[in-house]
Amino acid sequence: MTAALPPHPVTPALPAPHRLTRTEDGARLHALLWTAGPGRRAISSAVLGGGIGRRAWILNAQVSHGYRRTDPERHLACLAADAGLSGPGVGLMTAADVSAYAHARDGGVEAFVTAGVDVRDWAARPGEGAEGAPEPGTINVVVAVPAALTDAALVNAVATATEAKVQALVESGHDCSGTPTDAVCVVADAPVPDREAYAFAGPRSLWGARLARAVHRAVRDAVAELPGCRGTSGVTHGTPVPGY
């Protein structure tokens, strides 16, 4: 007997982001805002709202090249407040132009990627790492799964998203595993009684396979639009909303 796969949701696991605009230090900058909705939680490496917990929104904020603030968590919290956001959320930063983002969908999983690879490198190399707050990352991955995942599966999902990102970079001709400060955020339904919570999100699991394909395609599309890169465009320009 062939097992029935969960139906693909009609409603996206994460709606398309709103694009916010602001002027900071004389520069016009953008941010992407997703609302996760009730009953969702996230795992993230983000400087604001990182870790595992219920999260109501995700903000991916562009900052100026040469960003030198040493309080990125406070900065993101202020941007969120200026945007009228309340409650727990996730805040990411990047020097890349987030108004052009890549989006891919696979089996109900949604992946959104903003990318810049000017400061790319391999993860394992000789030398000590730097202390203190790093500069803002340049490849940010936001992915949503329309299913409940256990804590372990959330961690597994981060690993799967990272593996798919690296695969996409290498296949696109980049000799790197990413940039030194990439960030990822995975949103999923929170486990509730009487509903199955999936315990696995590796690349060969049901939701992990869908996540991997979505992230892989979104990263490839995102880096294809960068100067000197070639590929099929999957980049979307968000709808602007008033500045904040």
Model pLDDT for residues 7-58, shown as the tens digit of each residue: 666 567 898 999 999 999 888 999 999 999 889 999 999 999 999 999 999 9
Phi, psi (5° rounding) for residue 198? -70, 135
Q: Which three-class secondary structure state does DSSP give residue 159?
A: helix
Residues 210-233: tens digit of each pLDDT: 999 999 999 999 988 765 444 444
136, pLDDT greater than 70: no
Write the CB contacts of 66 (distance below 8 Å, at least 6 apart in sequence): none
Is residue 97 pLDDT above 70, yes or no? yes
